[in-house]
A and B are shown apart, each in its own frame.
Chain A
């Protein structure tokens, strides 16, 4: 059992004897296998195909949204806003607890019916418990000249789409 140092070598120069080497080799390969298993199950648990509505919605032609209009699409829960600077799209889901907000033209603001959060038309919070502004969503013009919104991709605020 006693590991004899290699002749000609000082005993404490031998830092790795055969037993230690094989122990480390064994533990190392177990570690690699564990990491592989982890990656394997991470990928298994992430579904590749989702049976959910597509995050990309076709909103329609630019002519349908006159300057100064705020349009809520209830089905896709987004706002399409057209102001002098250009077009932009906001998520209509309140950042507080996920209720659907509504545009109040008489107040000139977006209001949440659940807990009273209020936002201006750029999504900035004015009042209420919402912790964050309404996120800006990626908006672009398709080749057919229709407005497309990707609800899964947020963009920095005040990036207008000029047509």
Chain B
């Protein structure tokens, strides 16, 4: 059976349609393997070759990848939740209740969305602790740390804006308190709160604005910064492993001038 499957795939790879989609060609040479990564829109952000140590569990505990995984779950469940949820004052709360009690599998999808959201915040923090205590934020990866901080902020904002959408007492008071915090900004604070809520009270405009932020603006900025984040991993010399620490002779990629700057 596996043999037949293999021949089937081999034949598939020779078809004109396959070749038109995957242009790296057939074969298992190093070049073909490299081309398979390089000529794929999604994979070309990553290195064509990595050290084995970089992808071992002990190097990163896969915390960044797991954070990305929760993000994918959140996008998937979030999009289907949108099909039943109306961001309007009379409907929002009962829609969420319907998702729990009426819609088939609604309970599962909503809870998956909720728990993944908690997990994503936890994993993002764990990822940052891991990077911090390993010293992986140091040159030449400083900018990627900054991108990571932006991604943390986007994650927290996603978490916060999603909090209002069930439109219950918990949501209402969380947003009341949170937007009051923003009004503590000197001079423009009240204006920021007004723009955020689209009014002076947590009301219909606020619900709609938080919905748009939660489902469009923040996820798009997350995707944008995620792309930069992954691309920078490659540009900064791959995932951090201990041997690439500055001052270590084993790592020829580290420019000598960097060492001088740091001392």
Contact = CB atoms under 8 A, between A and B. Distances in A.
A36 interface: no
B155 interface: no
A interface majority secondary structure: loop
Interface in A33-57: 42, 45-47, 50-52, 55
Nearest to B209: A45
A97 B200 contact: no
Contacts of B205: 47, 50
B200 A50 contact: yes
A50 B199 contact: yes
A55 B177 CA distance: 20
A46 B200 contact: no
Nearest to A45: B195
Given A47-B205, A51-B204, A98 B176 contact: yes
Contacts of A55: 200
B221 interface: no
Nearest to B180: A98
Given A97-B173, A98-B176, A45 B200 contact: no
B180 A45 contact: no
Contacts of A45: 195, 198
Interface in B162-199: 173, 176-177, 180, 194-195, 198-199
Interface of A: 42, 45-47, 50-52, 55, 97-98, 152
Interface of B: 173, 176-177, 180, 194-195, 198-201, 203-205
